[in-house]
């Protein structure tokens, strides 16, 4: 039984949609890879010199919005391949009738899988030899 009133759910959906639209518009008009960009630099990279799992994310989204799949792949492959799964989770949660089978949902909702995936990607993209160096943004 869902105890949240429909008004609260609807209001939250409007706020999330407005935030997403704002982000899409900002990424459409401003290039995160350009000098003097309005987007912040990665603090982890600035302090350690290592790429975090999220490095290249805004540049990847910018490239996707402009139809440049090759550049998107080179910026952050992990997020790019995760987008369909994350979209399926959002759709599954936003509907009263579940779209994912219990077996698929069990895998996609397993936090250990996501944590392992993110940590492995973060470590592998900092290795200095091919093919791992290809995971670094750029």
- Structure confidence by residue, pLDDT tens digits, 21-56: 888 888 888 888 888 888 888 899 999 999 999 999
Question: Is residue 4's pLDDT more than 60?
Answer: no
Q: How far apart are CA 138 and CA 136, in angstroms?
A: 6
Q: How far apart are CA 4 and CA 21, in angstroms?
A: 25
Q: What is the mean pLDDT of the chain?
A: 88
* Residues 91-122 pLDDT 10s: 888 877 788 888 998 999 999 999 999 999 99
Q: How many CB atoms lie within 10 A of CB 102?
A: 7
Question: Is residue 64's pLDDT more than 90?
Answer: yes
Entry pTM = 0.78
Q: How far apart are CA 82 and CA 110, in angstroms?
A: 14
Residues 6 or more apart whose Cβ sits within 8 Å of residue 90: none
Q: Tell me, what's the pLDDT at 9?
A: 61
């Amino acid at each position: 039984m869902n105890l949240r009133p429909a008004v609260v759910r609807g209001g939250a959906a409007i706020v999330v949609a407005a935030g997403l639209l704002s982000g899409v518009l900002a990424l459409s008009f401003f290039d995160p890879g350009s000098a003097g960009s309005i987007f912040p630099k990665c603090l982890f990279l600035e302090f350690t010199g290592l790429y975090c799992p999220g490095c290249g994310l805004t540049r990847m989204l910018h490239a996707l919005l402009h139809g440049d799949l090759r550049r998107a792949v080179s910026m952050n492959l992990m997020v790019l391949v995760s987008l369909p799964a994350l979209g399926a989770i959002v759709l599954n949660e936003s509907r009263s009738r579940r779209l994912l089978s219990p077996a698929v949902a069990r895998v996609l909702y397993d936090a250990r899988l996501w944590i392992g995936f993110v940590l492995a990607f973060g470590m592998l993209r900092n290795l200095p030899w091919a093919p791992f160096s290809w995971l670094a943004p750029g």
